[in-house]
Structures are given as structure tokens and as C-alpha cells.
Chains A and B, each alone.
Chain A
């Protein structure tokens, strides 16, 4: 009997070997059908994907040719719309009904193009597995995660429920789910985003596929969680012999995973080569652009020797920064603020943020960083009076808005603007974007007609969008364009304080870079104060003068950007810093080791 691939690298875990020991099962022969490292498993020749749109064929991908060997990681990199996902989904026959595949893709001896029915089903999950981008929607919310792993196993192998459960638990251990026995009966919504993604990976690995397609596996996750998942995938890569296709738009994610890289633009391959070639000597301007778009952490700050950051010690909150000039009223002042989410049904009151002290001076950009669930968005929403503060005092540009009624807030609203995270939902789909931009002007200055048009056009100019776009609807615009509209709208009244709530986290990295550049220019032009909320320290570093780090509803460190980035005092800040990916394989490996060391320290 062939050795299970698990046995090669993990002799210390006999349980794992057991799980993949096929003795006594009638389908045991299938189990031996595992490729050895270096075997050619996927041979794609001239693969094209077309979509039928408006009485014509739209080419999503054209003339793709590549080969994948077992144990290798092939990264397909490109922006949204480059055809990277569709060309891979075509391999598993997951195109929408108006899609069409041509060319050839051979998995071993099987031609995948044109495969239908039960033969296709026997390959899906068994020989090719997919890890989807959004684990919340890719897992069925009605079934426990354990059941969903078992389901995949029992679909492809004749197996008793108890045996399937045993193997599912092994798989959960393999992907490092803590307490797999109790998590086995959990529903997807009871797990965190990172754990859900681990379950997805366990499910994908359950049948030891030859080919694993990971479609942006970390895009929906925080940087810290992303680092964890990437680490897991790197380990698995050594343990299983599957070939991995990693689809992503982020060169930083690719840096320490991929052996080969294909860069796709507008459905065509513009550059391909080994990781070293692509990162060391990119040829095509598109590749260069993708590399330049990833924010480099620490690239713009000198190393600070004597940090002056304020850190919370022994549970005492971070004190307020002393004002630079006491005569100028701060743009935003939070004094010992606590914010609650009210009781809903049986769910008790939830305190999302507590003992927050923060000052933003006029014209200053302050970054607020933390993982999701740390309460940073809560603070942003409280600053524009969308949420009430439960304790403490909140002052915006001289208006004390603590406990103010909605009606009295109108004059205050003129001085603040907010850019939301999701450009798709923050614009009214039924209004032309020009009307959305003009709404604050209409409501506060009662501008109408020609005057309003003039202002709206000026705003569109300032966010570098053509004036004709004012008559378009949000669904006609791309994500980046929509976010520019969001910025224009927030700036319509020339606010003194702008809250930017993760304005770029829903965007591609290259689009993000362009929006950030615009944001920087606008800030210098208009001179507004800004609270820039993000989970990505590298993004915040580019824009802000000071950074506040938040964890579990408390500020843990506040200080100048250079101090925070180069000489962090708090452990949490250090971990956040270490998680930021860098588009350079060498550098990334060093950072990875550093990160493991930090986490190791914490454990011991």
C-alpha cells in the first residue's frame, strides 16, 4: 500500500495517519491514486472563457496555457475583471449558464473541458477542491461544520458515520481548529472568520484532492487572520501533495507562497515565471504596477529610538494626548468615552468601546487600527452621531454632541463627513450619483438647479472623475469609482472632520493605491482633520501623522506614526505589524520568522 502523504512529514501524529488509512474500505483503491511530488497533474492549453452578454461573446479569459506539478503552488495574479477566477472555475465546471469554455485542460488523463454529469461530479471535491473567498457564504448556515466536512467524505467514499466523524475530527486538527470535538457541532455563524476559513480548507482537503484551487482565500479576512491562514497553507503545502492554484490580486499574499506566478490582465496572460523572476525583475508595466500598489510598511518612517507613545499599563486607559496648541479647539475630542450596543431581545447590552481618550487636532490625520470586532468602526460612527455614547464626552469641532437629539444635530452635520467601507451599499442605487453628491448641499444650503450642478461638477473634478458621470447610477460604476463618489459626497460641505471607515478594504490593491493617493491629495488641498480607520497598518502609515491602536474595545497604544511603526511598545501592536504582508519573498520570510517568534514569546 502506498504511504499516505501525511505519514511522510508528520510521523509524530499517528492519529492523522490512521485517518487516512484506507484499510477495510471497498473504495480503498481510490485512495492510492495520489500524485507524487513533481508529477504533472494539470496541463492547460489555450484555455478560453467567454460569456454571452447582450447578444455577443465577451472574452473573460483568452489563450491560457500553463502546467502544474504536484506539490507546486501556482499563483494567478490580476485585478478584478482580469479573468483569473473565471478561468479557474471553468476547470471545475462552475461557470454560470451563459459561460463557455474552449481549449483544453487535462487533469492527469481526464479532459476537463466539456466534462458533464456524474463524471464531473466524481472529480469535483474528490480530485479538485475549491477554497472560496467568503467562508460565511460558502458554508451552509443550516448545518454544523462537522456535518459539512463529513458530507464531502461520505459523498466520495463508502464510510460509516462514526468513521467519517473520526476523519473529520482529524482534519479539523490538521487545520489547527482549537478543541475540534466541541467545534464539530458548531454552526458556521458561531465561528470566527478565520476559523470558518479553516473549516473550508479542511473540507477541501478531506478527499486529498490532486488539485486545490484557492480563490482569494484571505481577501475577506483581517491582516492578522490572513497571516494565520497563509501560515497554515504553507504548512499544508509541505504535508499534502496537491498542486495548488492560488488566485489573488495581492502581490503581498503571493510573496512567500508561490513557486510560479502568472499575471493576468484583461483576460490575457501578460507575464509568467518563477516567483523570483516576477518579484526580482518584473517586465510588464502591469506587474510593476501591482507590485507598487502594495503598501510597504515602514518605507516612509525613520527608525525612532525613543518612542513617545502612550500605552495602557495595568488596565489603566491610555491618557489623552496633550494639545499642541490649547487655544485651538480640537477637531475631535473623545474623553473617557464608552459606547454600548443596546439590548436586543435576549441579547444583553454589549459594550463595544470603553475608556476611549483621543484627540484629533484640526488638519491632522489620525489612523485608528485594530482587528475586526475591536470597536474601531463604533468609534467612527459615534463621531458622526450615528451612535450615542453611554459615558464620557464627545466634542466635534467645538460642538458637544454628547446626548444631543437628532433634530438639534443639523448644524453639527455640516462639519463632519464620513466615507463608508462598502462603496456598493453606501450609495442609494436608485439615485444618479450626481444627486447623491449634491444631497448634503441641497439639505444644508438649499442649493438647487444650476448652482447645485456647478458645485457637483467641481466636486467630481476634485475626485478626478469625468463630469458626465453625474448622471450615472451606482451599479454602472466600478468599486473604485464608487468610492471616489463616496469621498466627493463626504467632502461636499467641506467638513472640518472626515471619518474614513476602511474606505479601501473592499477594493483591489491597485485601486486602493489610487484611491489612497487621491485621498492624500484631497487632504492636503482641503486641510480637513481625519480619523482614518483601517485594519491594515501599512495603509494607515501612508496617510496619518499619528496612529491609535485598538483591541477589544480599548485603545492600547497611541503615538506618532514613526514610533508606532518602527518601535511599538504594546504586544498587540507588534503582532499587527508583523502580520502585514510585503511583496518581496526574502523580506517576507524574515518577517514571518519574526512573527512566529513574537507569538512564541506570548505563548511561553
Chain B
């Protein structure tokens, strides 16, 4: 064979020559063995002799689309998911544009902690519900649309800031949990054996950690450690300011086991597929097989569960803050607002309802998105057309067949 010397250092032309050469010289085998397919070969020129092949009906739908495009198409068809996407987008835009991000100021004039003059006695909202919602008629936003608290702080500003915190906490939790979960899950699912055992027992250990206790301990530590080690005023302030991020990091470090187990089971399933063997025979390294070949195939499950984890983490953050273990003043979060204002529930209900409403909107819309993603990634969920659409199309098809005598099948491509 001439291709003995095909090594990486050879130039491109040489390699191409090699290809041509070895094609040309091919083994001359006895002709006896190549006889029986001749009859078949003669038929091959006849167009009528071959059918359209398997799965034509299915492939009409997916022609020319990548896996990602198919998922997107199915996702867009899911009404709940699109609704959730829009709701989530609007909420995020509202809160970030109103209060600004970091140094960039928002369009809302008030800030979170300044006590303003009471606009309406009792701090009632200046925004009234339209009459058809049982309110006293729409008159515009007014200076304090969500009302004020006892000392005159603006509830709208607080809620918007709270939404920002919630969204930020949600993403940090999910990114941390995903990094750890996917890494640990893929390692243990791919290598199995002793490493798997070790990692999974560690996962079991993490599962046993009680979230609320961790939140409480962390809150305590943030309060005491700086004094113990005599850290500077600036450090303490920074720790205080970044409290939500710290909380999210810790929660992320506790919430990864579920993802790790899912990823592991996907890897256990996928590593038995022949495309993995095929990659190994092609000379792919373990890392390449894990992250180029298996992980993209496991991503569907991971993404779906990550979105569900996102909505759970919004609620979790609210619950922890409500209990006083999560985010503390001067930071604002939706759970904290509810916790602070629960005493005023009878006298100033708006302080309670607005943050609550936005917790529901965030959790619900992310959940809808997750639901849509799950349906989009699962090839078994097929869209079943409504009876009406089918009947209509049947009538149209009938009219057509009558118009043009014996019709051909509409999708006889290939």
C-alpha cells in the first residue's frame, strides 16, 4: 500500500496525490465474486425500479433544518412558552430600564431608600386600576404608582430593584449549578467505575445539606467574620453590597446535585451509542468525546431542567429572604419586601401584593419557558393537528384531485 507514509507533516498536495494514487492502483481481485450484482446494476438505470425510500413523510417536515432549528420551530409553536418568554422579557426590561444597571441611571426619578413626602394620605398608590378592573378609573401612573410605606419610601422603586435582584440571583444560581452539575455528571457518567462512585457519594453528601440552615449560617458569617478578622470598612461594605451574589453562589453550590444526576444518566445512556465508538475509532480523545460528541446530545435534558431550576430559585430566594436568612437591607429583594411589609398587610396591602405578583409572574413565565423547551427537545411530542384543520385540508385536497385527475403524492421527493 502506498499510504504507509501519510503523516501529518506531509504537505497537502502530496496527500491528495496519495488519495488519487491509491484509488487508481486498487486491488485486482478475481472477477468471479463481482458477478451477481450485474443484473441489479442494469436495473439501476431504470427510474421506475426504485421507491421513494423510508420516512419520506417525516422528512418533509425537517428538510434542510439543523437539530437546533427544529427545536426552535417547535418552541415557537408552543403558545405557553412564547407567552412566558414575552412576559419575562417585558418584566426584565421594565425593571432594568426603570432603575438602571450599575452606574447607568434609569428613567424612574425616585430611588429605593429615600423617604419622600407622602403623596396621598396613607401612602396609597397614585396609580388607579381602570374601572373595568374594579378600580376608580385610570389616571396615569402618578409619582408613586405602587404606593409608599410608612416613612414614604417608593414601593415602585423597591419592587423594580427587587425584580433585578431576583433575576440576577436566578442566573447566578443557575450558572453555578450548571457548571458544577454538568461537569460532575459528565465525568461520573463517562468514566463510571470508581470515579463515578466517589463523585456520586459526594453528590449524596451535598444533597443532605439543608438549604435554610446554610442560608442562616451564611447570613451570620457575613455579619461576624469581618469583625473577627478586623477587615477594613471598605471590605465590609463591599461584602454587604454583594450579598445577593454571595447568596446566589452558595445556593448554586448546593443546588447542583439534581443536574449532576441527570447529566450522569444521560451520559450513561449516550456513551453506549455507536457514534461514541465511532469517534473513538477515529482517534478522538476522551475530552473530545465527552464535550464535542456526548454533551451536545445531552444538552436538551440539561437546558430543560435548568429552566425549571431557575423558576424554583426565584421562589427559593424569596422564601429565604422572607425568613430573614437571605438578602438583607440595604439590598432589596421581592421576598424581603414581603417580609418587611407583612405587618402592614391590613393597612397597606399594596406593599404586599405588588412584590408577590411579580414573584408569581417571574416564576410562572420561566416555568412556561421550561415547559416549552421540554416539548421542543423531546422528539416524541408530536404536534397533533386539530380536527378542523385536517378536515379543511381534506376538502381542499379533494377539490384538487378532482381538478387534476389521478394526482401524484405531494411529497414524492428524493
Contact = CB atoms under 8 A, between A and B. Distances in A.
Given A496-B1, A508-B54, A429 B6 contact: no
Interface string A527-556: 100000000000000111100000000000
B275 A59 contact: no
Contacts of A520: 33-34, 37
Given A59-B410, A428-B297, A524-B26, A458 B19 contact: yes
Contact of A479 (B8, B22, B27, B54): B54
Nearest to B50: A289
Contacts of A454: 16
B385 to A, nearest CB: 5
Given A58-B57, A80-B53, A98-B384, A542 B33 contact: yes
Contact of B36 (A285, A295, A410, A473): A295
Interface string B62-73: 111111000000
A89 to B, nearest CB: 14
A183 interface: no
Interface stretch (B39-47, B126-134, B166-174): B39-47
A299 B36 contact: yes
Contact of A428 (B48, B55, B293): B293
Nearest to B379: A475
A584 interface: no
B274 A413 contact: no
A476 B52 contact: no
A586 B128 CA distance: 92
Contact of B52 (A81, A440, A510, A544): A81
B37 A517 contact: yes
A33 B275 CA distance: 53
A545 B393 contact: no
Contacts of B40: 289, 292-293, 513-514, 517
A314 interface: no
Contact of B282 (A50, A80, A97, A489): A489
A272 interface: no
B287 interface: no
Nearest to A285: B49
B275 A427 contact: yes
A426 B411 contact: no
A88 to B, nearest CB: 16
A545 B282 CA distance: 27
A548 to B, nearest CB: 16
Interface residues of A, number: 104
Interface in A199-235: none
A425 B280 contact: no
A359 interface: no
Contacts of A543: 33
A169 to B, nearest CB: 37
Interface string A285-300: 1101100110110011
Contacts of A57: 393-394, 397, 410
B66 A432 contact: yes
Contacts of B59: 475-476
B54 A80 contact: yes
Contacts of A155: none
Given A54-B61, A426-B275, A473-B66, A455 B50 contact: no
A323 B325 CA distance: 79
A492 B18 CA distance: 12
A382 to B, nearest CB: 12
Contacts of A54: 60-61
B284 interface: yes
A381 B284 CA distance: 16
A542 B37 contact: yes
A126 interface: no
B108 to A, nearest CB: 45
Interface string B1-33: 101001010001001101100110111111011
Contacts of A362: 1
A547 to B, nearest CB: 12
Contacts of A496: 1, 3
A53 B411 contact: yes
B2 to A, nearest CB: 9
Interface in B371-403: 382, 384-385, 389-390, 393-394, 397
Contacts of A545: 29-30, 33
A478 B55 contact: yes
B63 to A, nearest CB: 6
A192 interface: no
A438 to B, nearest CB: 10
Nearest to B278: A426
B277 interface: yes
A59 B409 contact: yes
B107 interface: no
A418 B281 contact: yes
A408 B29 CA distance: 34
Which of the four size classes fits the interface of chain B?
35 or more
Contact of A81 (B35, B56, B273, B397): B56
Nearest to B393: A57
Given A475-B62, A526-B22, A285 B46 contact: yes
A440 B64 contact: no
A11 interface: no
A421 B50 CA distance: 23
A525 B282 CA distance: 22
Contact of B283 (A56, A96, A267, A413): A413
B412 interface: yes
A496 B3 CA distance: 9
Contacts of B18: 494
A79 B60 contact: no
A420 B278 contact: yes
Nearest to A507: B54
A98 B385 contact: yes
B29 A58 contact: no
A429 B297 contact: yes
B66 A480 contact: no
A415 to B, nearest CB: 9
B51 interface: yes
B51 A82 contact: yes
Contacts of A451: 12
A126 to B, nearest CB: 28
B208 interface: no
Contacts of A284: 48
B296 to A, nearest CB: 4
Interface in B75-109: none
A60 to B, nearest CB: 6
A444 B8 contact: yes
Nearest to B40: A292
A361 to B, nearest CB: 11
B129 to A, nearest CB: 42
Contacts of A514: 40, 44
A496 B22 CA distance: 11
Contacts of A416: 281
Nearest to A270: B48
B409 A267 contact: yes
B50 A53 contact: no
A488 to B, nearest CB: 12
Contacts of A418: 277-278, 281
A300 B32 contact: yes
A486 to B, nearest CB: 8
8 contacts: A53-B57, A53-B411, A81-B56, A410-B283, A413-B281, A418-B277, A418-B281, A430-B296
Given A288-B43, A476-B59, 12 more contacts: A53-B411, A98-B384, A286-B49, A300-B35, A413-B282, A436-B275, A475-B67, A476-B62, A478-B54, A494-B18, A520-B34, A523-B27
Across the A-B interface, give the 3 residue pairs with the lowest CB-CB distance, nearest first.
A80-B54, A527-B27, A289-B49
